[in-house]
Amino acid sequence: MWSLMNILAVATALTASTVAQSNNSDVDSSSIIYQLSTDSEFAFLLEEYLALASGGGSATGEVLRAASQIVSGDYESWYSEFKFLGDAMHEKATATNATRFPVSARDNYFRAASYYRAADFFLHQNQSDPRIYSLWDIATADFDTATSLLDVPPIILNISGPGFTIPAYYFSASPKHKPGCTPEKRPTVIVGSGYDGSQQALYHSLGRAMLERGYNYISYEGPGQPSPRRYQNLGFIPNWWDVVTPVVEYLHTLGDVDTTRIALIGESFGGTLAPRAASVEHRLSAVVAIDGITSMQTTLLEQFPAQLTALYNSGKPAVFDEVMLGLMRNTSVPTNLRWVIAQGMWSFNTESPYTWLQKLGEITSEKDTLEKITCPVLVFGAEHDILPVQQSRDMAAALGDLATYYLFKADVGAGEHCQLGAEAQLAQVTFDWLADVWGL
Ligand SMILES: *[C@@H]1O[C@H](CO)[C@@H](O)[C@H](O)[C@H]1NC(C)=O
Ligand SMILES: *[C@@H]1O[C@H](CO)[C@@H](O)[C@H](O)[C@H]1NC(C)=O
Ligand SMILES: *[C@@H]1O[C@H](CO)[C@@H](O)[C@H](O)[C@H]1NC(C)=O
Ligand SMILES: *[C@@H]1O[C@H](CO)[C@@H](O)[C@H](O)[C@H]1NC(C)=O
Ligand SMILES: *[C@@H]1O[C@H](CO)[C@@H](O)[C@H](O)[C@H]1NC(C)=O
């Protein structure tokens, strides 16, 4: 029987280890990107928010200032600094006459929304924390106000799915249509995030790049992702095609979509979800996995300290839960492990780490799933990914002739998970490949 002593032993062992750190043999430590925090999880997230700058979702000075104030590993400090920035940009936005200065108001609303989302990031450990909801309410409201000030605002809608609704933003690449004109049909990309990302952030990281290339795009969130988790109380589901198919159906009702050229992109854990959906939804003409992940559960069980993995496999859920919850709440334990437990339980809508890990194991894109895909798939790997790059190679290998594989390089700053901070390189490879597939 596991005693408190054993639990403490695991916790002690963990302070010396780093979970979810890169250990890819392809890359040596000299290729690690500049770190904005001594806490590797904080550094990664700061990079994520800094990276939104090129798409108008943040500003470098604002994020670097927050980075200078945040106490490494201190969740409340992270919250306070980003809440401060969110409030500051929100005040600037509301003080701007949006009729007279729509661009100024819009840009402030976009950044306020990002910083409010950032403020929420490390709060999920206590699922009753009301800030999880209040921050998201204001972040979404500010984002929606910002998009209403675009030249061509998106259609903001909820699509009906089986037993849930799918919040979505549809951005048309066509200039405003004149009444009575038939809109030009354009290629269209469906884009979704992963384990923790929002569809709003995708506007800044990939959305604008698609519109500039003349592609329409629709972003969506399914169960487990930020908005359905909060407003419908739903955790991740394995039947991800039930999320994507209603989105495809919706696109088929629009006049400006070329339905022979619909692609699906999944980012981060979306690199599992998108191929999984495409194994059942065959009206997609192409899929992009940023990056290819065959099994998150396998990754975690490999990266956990051996003692923890052995405990999971020992079939004692109550003991495993006690140990994991102890680790999650222990501020001496590395943030990456504490966060991955908290976010796992939150996004799977459970208070049990065991249940989370078990359900995570049902959501894979391995050979049995991949062999049902019928369209070309672009599979990305990243040299310095926090997740094992080998899984992206496995995914491409299982897809055989349908796969195009591309490895992003660390020496030109593109080696991070999801190519954070190198969105221009990501966009070039992704969208030029799509143009080839579509024969454009
Ligand atoms: C938290 O972890 C530290 C260091 O690993 C350990 O010494 C301490 O006993 C743990 N605290 C609890 C409450 O488990
Ligand atoms: C990383 O991989 C090397 C080589 O396979 C191994 O010796 C080392 O223990 C690994 N480090 C961690 C933290 O897993
Ligand atoms: C905002 O600007 C518009 C257009 O210049 C003007 O008509 C309106 O009075 C202004 N509103 C406020 C509250 O100043
Ligand atoms: C979680 O948050 C709620 C609401 O703020 C609070 O009442 C509760 O004490 C918190 N629980 C823990 C374990 O901190
Ligand atoms: C979509 O549904 C949410 C509740 O889940 C609601 O708050 C929101 O207003 C709806 N949006 C639209 C555009 O109907």
Contact 141 CB / ligand 5 (< 6 Å): no
Return the residue matching tokens 């929002």.
Answer: 198
Q: Which amino acid belongs to residue 13?
A: A
pLDDT in tens, 191-208: 999 999 999 999 999 999
Higher pLDDT, 53 or 10: 53
Instruction: Round the CA-based radius of gyration of the chain to a whole number and report it.
Output: 21
Q: How many CA atoms lie within 13 A of 374 on its CB side?
A: 6
Closest CA to 266 of 326, 199, 329, 215: 199
Structure tokens at 38: 């001594």
Whole-angstrom Cα distance, residue 90 to residue 105? 9
Whole-angstrom Cα distance, residue 287 to residue 55? 23
Whole-number Å distance, alpha carbon 23 to ligand 2 midpoint, is 6
Residue by residue, DSSP assigns 166-224 as EEEEEE--SPPPPTTPPPPPEEEEEEE--SS--HHHHIIIIIHHHHHTT-EEEEE--TT
In the DSSP assignment, the letter for residue 11 is H
The pLDDT-based confidence of 332 (bands split at 50, 70, 90) is very high
pLDDT score of 12 more than 70: no
The pLDDT-based confidence of 258 (bands split at 50, 70, 90) is very high
Question: Closest Cα to atom 10, ligand 5: which residue?
Answer: 158
Mean pLDDT for 69-84 is 98
CB-CB contact of 122 with 203 (8 Å): no
Return the residue matching tokens 């981060």.
Answer: 268
Contact 157 CB / ligand 5 (< 6 Å): yes
Cα dihedral sign, 133-233-19-267: negative
The pLDDT-based confidence of 174 (bands split at 50, 70, 90) is confident
pLDDT of amino acid 183: 79
pLDDT in tens, 106-153: 999 999 999 999 999 999 999 999 999 999 999 999 999 999 999 999
The continuous run of DSSP H or E covering 46 comes out as: helix 40-51
Task: Point out the least confidently predicted range of 179-188, 245-254, 409-418.
Answer: 179-188
Phi, psi (rounded to 5 degrees) for 359: -65, -35
Contacts (Cβ under 8 Å, ≥6 apart) of 10: 305, 307, 308, 311, 323, 327
pLDDT score of 9 more than 70: no
Whole-angstrom Cα distance, residue 26 to residue 440? 35
The pLDDT-based confidence of 32 (bands split at 50, 70, 90) is confident
Mean pLDDT for 9-28 is 48
CB-CB contact of 324 with 10 (8 Å): no
Question: Closest Cα to atom 10, ligand 3: which residue?
Answer: 97
pLDDT score of 20 more than 60: no
Average pLDDT, the chain: 93
Whole-angstrom Cα distance, residue 116 to residue 225? 16
pLDDT score of 215 more than 50: yes
Predicted TM-score (pTM) of this structure:
0.93
According to DSSP, the β-strands at 286-290 and 257-267 are parallel
Helices (H) and strands (E) in the chain, counts: 19, 8
In the DSSP assignment, the letter for residue 266 is E
Hey, is 25 helix, strand or coil?
Answer: coil
Ligand nearest to the CA of 96: 3
Question: Closest Cα to atom 4, ligand 3: which residue?
Answer: 100
C-alpha dist (Å) from residue 66 to 72, 140, 330, 422, 440: 12, 21, 24, 21, 43
pLDDT score of 171 more than 90: yes
pLDDT score of 411 more than 90: yes
Residue from 123, 125, 129 whose mutation best tests the ligand 4 pocket (most atoms within 8 A of CB): 129
Hey, is 265 helix, strand or coil?
Answer: strand
Whole-number Å distance, alpha carbon 24 to ligand 2 midpoint, is 9
**Long-range contacts, stretch 64-68, CB < 8 angstroms, 24+ apart:** 64/36, 66/115, 67/36, 67/37
Q: Which amino acid belongs to residue 124?
A: H
The pLDDT-based confidence of 381 (bands split at 50, 70, 90) is very high
Mean pLDDT for 253-270 is 97
